[in-house]
């Protein structure tokens, strides 16, 4: 029998009260299992016969406190190099990407130069470049050129990272719909104007999440400069280690890097998530 259609719609289902059990029991179980697993791990480590030696070698509070001021001073240099390199990479890579994306036949040699540049600098280890530039160029003693290893090491980092960032920018430029280019051309804009007003703003928005990953990666890779004698945090920690044979100073440097990179990584995640939400909203 077909049920009769009621005169008015049925009342909405009664809202259930807040279910404490549903809200808290899974959380409690997770917390308990985390405590259990990590507790067992901690106990295994702490009861190991080698643990006191490990602790003294890597986690000695005394050594950490003594080394901290100079390691921190070095870390300030890491941060300075990081920020300056970021700015240079952002601009230089963008210039490369724009040149690579120009379409006129007259730009062919410049496009080729960018392709070669990317092939070379993406194919070489950053460490090799840092050593080559940081030791090699000051050794030339060319008058008028800066002599500092810090400067040339930084240049090597910029050149190397720009190759990656250029490719990221370019993928963003390519992802802008062809119709945008057609529309901009149809309005009478020239090649540069099309790029600057129509394409690039959209491209940058496309690649912001990927760029954030590079920002995080660069933040720790600036430590490569320590191999050419730049007294950054890693170098300072090594100097301390060399005189005391205790590695706690390196752990201090490690903690400083984590302190800086983890919030950056969270920020990158957040930007990615926000960007995804925006896209879904537009698509819907």
Binding site for other proteins (CB under 8 A): 177, 179-180, 182-190, 193, 197-198, 201-202, 205, 282
In angstroms, give the least distance from the CB of 260 to other proteins: 31
In angstroms, give the least distance from the CB of 186 to other proteins: 5
In angstroms, give the least distance from the CB of 178 to other proteins: 9
> Based on CB atoms, which residue is closest to other proteins, 145 or 187?
187
Q: Give the C-alpha separation, 88 to 165, whole Å.
A: 11
Q: Give the C-alpha separation, 232 to 234, whole Å.
A: 6
In angstroms, give the least distance from the CB of 188 to other proteins: 3
> Based on CB atoms, which residue is closest to other proteins, 11 or 105?
105
- b/e sequence 32-61, b meaning 16+ C-beta within 10 Å: eeeeeeeeeeeeeeeeeeeeeeeeeebebe
- With a CB cutoff of 8 Å and minimum separation 6, the contacts of 230 are 77, 81, 134, 149, 150, 153
> Based on CB atoms, which residue is closest to other proteins, 27 or 105?
105
> Based on CB atoms, which residue is closest to other proteins, 125 or 201?
201
* Six token digits for residue 258: 């984590």
Q: Give the C-alpha separation, 130 to 152, whole Å.
A: 8
């Amino acid at each position: 029998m077909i049920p009769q259609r009621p005169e008015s719609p049925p009342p909405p289902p009664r809202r259930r009260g807040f279910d404490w059990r549903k809200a808290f029991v899974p959380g409690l179980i997770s917390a308990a299992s985390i405590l259990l697993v990590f507790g067992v791990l901690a106990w295994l480590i702490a009861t190991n016969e080698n643990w006191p030696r490990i602790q003294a070698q890597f986690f000695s509070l005394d050594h950490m406190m003594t080394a901290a001021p100079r390691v921190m001073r070095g870390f300030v240099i890491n941060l300075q190099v990081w920020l300056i390199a970021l700015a240079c990479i952002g601009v230089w890579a963008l210039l490369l990407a724009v040149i690579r994306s120009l379409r006129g036949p007259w730009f062919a040699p410049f496009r080729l130069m960018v392709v070669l540049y990317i092939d070379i600098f993406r194919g070489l280890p950053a460490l090799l470049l840092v050593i080559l530039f940081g030791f090699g160029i000051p050794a030339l003693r060319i008058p008028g050129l800066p002599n500092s290893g810090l400067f040339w090491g930084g240049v090597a980092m910029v050149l190397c990272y720009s190759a990656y960032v250029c490719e990221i920018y370019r993928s963003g430029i390519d992802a802008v719909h062809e119709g945008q280019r057609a529309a901009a051309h149809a309005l009478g804009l020239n090649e540069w104007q099309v790029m600057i007003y129509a394409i690039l703003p959209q491209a940058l928005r496309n690649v912001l999440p990927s760029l954030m990953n590079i920002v995080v990666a660069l933040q720790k890779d600036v430590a490569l400069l320590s191999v050419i004698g730049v007294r950054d945090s890693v170098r300072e920690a090594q100097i301390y280690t060399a005189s005391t044979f205790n590695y706690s100073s390196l752990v201090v440097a490690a903690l400083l890097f984590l302190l800086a990179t983890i919030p950056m990584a969270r920020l990158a995640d957040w930007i990615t998530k926000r960007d995804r939400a925006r896209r879904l909203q537009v698509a819907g």
